[in-house]
Structure 1
């Protein structure tokens, strides 16, 4: 989880980063135990024991939008995962 520690630290850094690759953020959420629920199109939800965050996978860009990073930060904080 060494690379994921870097992603986690970047998610919690202020100001919010706009350079986190979506795949890195998604892999971190999966690694901490979130269940992926695929929706229609690019819609995806992450569920961890009733805590849910909904996103649209960014395209064509690879980077997560800043509001998505903030939403991921909120979910991670709610489930007790912080750097």
Structure 2
């Protein structure tokens, strides 16, 4: 895993929840972890990772992911053994 992906994991697990984390960085982390990402209806994306499918909303017009999504991603990663 590249240093940029490790930095993204650090930002996801930071307290308080980061509100300036770019969705593009999170998608790159998912791909580095072996995910498959499919476009869904509208701005939704389906992420196939850890034998599960999760649906997230790609933020727009701002590239920053909202705090609720970051918290959900943190819980999902933590439940599957991904930690900083």
* Aligned residue number for residue 44 of structure 1: 45
Shift of 1:59: 0.3
The reply to whether residue 33 of structure 1 matches residue 34 of structure 2 is yes
* Aligned residue number for residue 73 of structure 2: 72
TM-score, normalised by the number of residues in structure 2: 0.90
Shift of 1:54: 1.4
TM-score, normalised by the number of residues in structure 1: 0.91
Unaligned runs of 5+ in 1: none
Given that 1:21 and 1:62 are in contact with CA atoms closer than 8 Å, whether structure 2 keeps it comes out as yes
The reply to whether residue 10 of structure 1 matches residue 46 of structure 2 is no
What is the aligned length?
Answer: 83
**Deviation >3 Å, runs of 4+:** none
Pairwise CA RMSD = 1.2
Given that 1:58 and 1:64 are in contact with CA atoms closer than 8 Å, whether structure 2 keeps it comes out as yes
* Aligned residue number for residue 24 of structure 2: 23
User: Does the residue aligned with 2:47 lie in a helix, a strand or coil?
Assistant: strand
